[in-house]
């Protein structure tokens, strides 16, 4: 028969074990829950890598006072471009790129793809003195029979300035950029404000294993400060 003091001792021991059980349970729960919530909060399931972002155009906010000044930048209609091909063929073409389709529509610039090539497309643009933004953007794709060891065949993007001033190279793509997918390049050229420049994409290949360069959706986004132009004509307005 259990005495009163033994009952008290038993009760204390039972409560101590129960308290220990609750503490252990809490510790286990807290150690598991952060992992669980981290997984559900980001929507990423355990063991699966996060989704790869889908490539898209560089975000260029149109905004008020902004417009694309390239004529026929998608190559879908006639006009806008000065073109040259040493082979004497049209460099604005519907010949399909390795990805299977042009970035827009059914046509684009198709440069090179033969040995000792010299092809280009060019367009003159004016960047007004009151420009506040001038971003050149274009999509490109390269296909080659070359190895990737050296840049044997190239597509050079030039900014030509009149009156014998130095030409600037914005970008040089080559057989080393070969990939059956569209890529985008974007350059700030606001430093040419107040000038008329010619943008030129020139392909040159060496004597063997040709490379093809495809260009589509050329855009020059210009934003202008209309108040600055008004002040230029009516300087007293600014006072
Ligand atoms: Ca197109
Ligand atoms: Ca070559």
Which ligand places an atom closest to the C-alpha of 105?
Answer: 1
Task: Classify residue 133 as exposed, middle or buried by CB count within 10 Å of its CB (0-12, 13-18, 19+).
Answer: middle
CATH topology for the 66-228 domain: Jelly Rolls (2.60.120)
Residues 6 or more apart whose Cβ sits within 8 Å of residue 2:
10
Residues near ligand 1 ion, CB 5 Å cutoff: 74-75, 102, 104-105, 108, 216
Residue boundaries of the structural domains of the chain: 1-44, 66-228
- Cβ distance 91 to 83 under 8 Å? yes
Ligand 2: centre distance to CA 118 (Å): 12
Ligand 2: centre distance to CA 88 (Å): 19
Residues facing residue 67 across a β-bridge: 222
- The per-type count for the chain, helices as H runs and strands as E runs, is 2, 11
Which ligand places an atom closest to the C-alpha of 211?
Answer: 2
What pLDDT tens digit does each residue of the chain (239 aa) get?
444 444 545 456 455 555 555 554 444 444 433 333 233 333 333 334 444 443 444 555 566 789 999 999 999 999 999 999 999 999 999 999 999 999 999 999 999 999 999 999 999 999 999 999 999 999 999 999 999 999 999 999 999 988 778 899 999 999 999 999 999 999 999 999 999 999 999 999 999 999 999 999 999 999 998 775 555 444 444 43
Ligand 2: centre distance to CA 207 (Å): 6
Ligand 2: centre distance to CA 110 (Å): 16
């Amino acid at each position: 028969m259990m005495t009163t003091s033994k009952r008290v001792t038993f009760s204390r021991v039972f409560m101590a074990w129960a308290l220990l059980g609750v503490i252990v349970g809490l510790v286990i729960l807290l150690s598991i829950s952060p992992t669980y919530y981290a997984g559900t909060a980001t929507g990423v399931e355990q063991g699966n890598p996060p989704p790869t972002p889908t490539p898209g155009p560089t975000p260029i906010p149109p905004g008020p006072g902004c417009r694309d000044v390239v004529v026929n930048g998608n190559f879908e209609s006639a006009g806008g471009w000065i073109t040259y091909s040493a082979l004497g063929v049209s460099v604005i073409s519907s010949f399909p790129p390795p990805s299977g389709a042009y970035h827009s529509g059914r046509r684009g610039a198709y440069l090179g793809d033969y040995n000792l090539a010299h092809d280009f497309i060019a367009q003159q643009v004016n960047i007004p003195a009151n420009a506040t933004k001038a971003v050149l953007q274009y999509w490109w794709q390269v296909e080659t029979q070359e190895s990737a060891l050296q840049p044997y065949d190239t597509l050079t993007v030039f900014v030509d300035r009149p009156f014998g001033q130095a030409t600037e190279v914005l970008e040089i793509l080559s057989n080393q950029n070969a990939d059956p997918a569209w890529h985008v390049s974007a350059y700030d050229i606001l430093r040419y404000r107040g000038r008329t420049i010619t943008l030129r994409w020139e392909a040159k290949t060496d004597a063997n294993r040709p490379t093809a360069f495809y260009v589509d959706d050329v855009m020059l986004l210009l934003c202008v400060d209309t108040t600055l132009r008004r002040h230029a004509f009516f300087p007293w307005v600014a006072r």
